[in-house]
Amino acid sequence: MVIPSGQLGRRLSLTGAVSLVFVSVFCLAGWAQEAAPRKLGELSDRLAPFVPTPMSVVEEMLKLAEVDKYDRVYDLGSGDGRIVIMAAQKFGAEAVGVELDDDLFKESSARIVALGLEKRAQILHENMYEVSLRPATVVTLYLLTSVNERLRPILERDLRPGARVVTHDFKVPGWEPKQSIAVTSEAGISHTLYLYVRP
């Protein structure tokens, strides 16, 4: 069939318009997927999105570090505060979270107050690279390997001999774990925990 040139031009214009809409929607969808994790973390300085550690894994992390009432636990990138809260509430430790995200800081701090744990738990609204870890006897991490690597010199500088570091799924490059264990979450997903002890 022969299409008159005028109609052909209109059809091509319509096809182009439809294609443009399709590409625009596709790009917007892609942008939304990219933006979502950054919104959960933060837009400028945070290096990892907030992904909460399952509660059963939190408990195993604290057990692996043998946390007790004499410990001061620091959780870097503490998110909703679940590790800090369990360390204080169930293990009797003093616990400090470090969280840069405004909303997560407010949420976790409010939960600590609601649970009446202010004497044993707190969240610092600070950059974890700028916080002194000298008071810590235990540090917990659920951060990417690259972030753990960047934190390593800070941990080496600040932590006293015998201090324990427990990481969830991601190792500290250059360190040899004293112990590693596999745990299964409530959802049936396997996780690996690494225990390091400062010499």
Please state, as a whole number, how many other Cβ atoms lie within 10 Å of the Cβ of residue 118.
11
pLDDT (tens digit per residue) in 111-152 = 999 999 999 999 999 999 999 999 999 999 999 999 999 999
**The model's pTM:** 0.77
pLDDT recorded at residue 49: 73
pLDDT band of residue 50 (cuts 50, 70, 90) is: confident
> Which token pair is 196?
């390091």
List the Cα angle 129/193/152 in 5-degree steps: 25
d(CA 76, CA 5): 67
Angle value at C-alpha 132, between 128 and 135, nearest 5 degrees: 120
pLDDT at 16: 43
What's the CATH superfamily of 55-197?
Answer: Vaccinia Virus protein VP39 (3.40.50.150)
Q: Report the alpha-carbon distance of residue 120 to residue 94 in Å, rounded.
A: 5
Residue type at position 125 = H
Average pLDDT estimate for 149-176: 98
Q: Work out the mean pLDDT of the chain and round it to a whole number.
A: 83
* Vertex 166: Cα angle to 160 and 172 (nearest 5): 85
- Residue 48 is predicted with a pLDDT of 64
Which of 34, 143, 58, 159 lies closest to 98, judged by CA? 143
pLDDT, position 45:
44
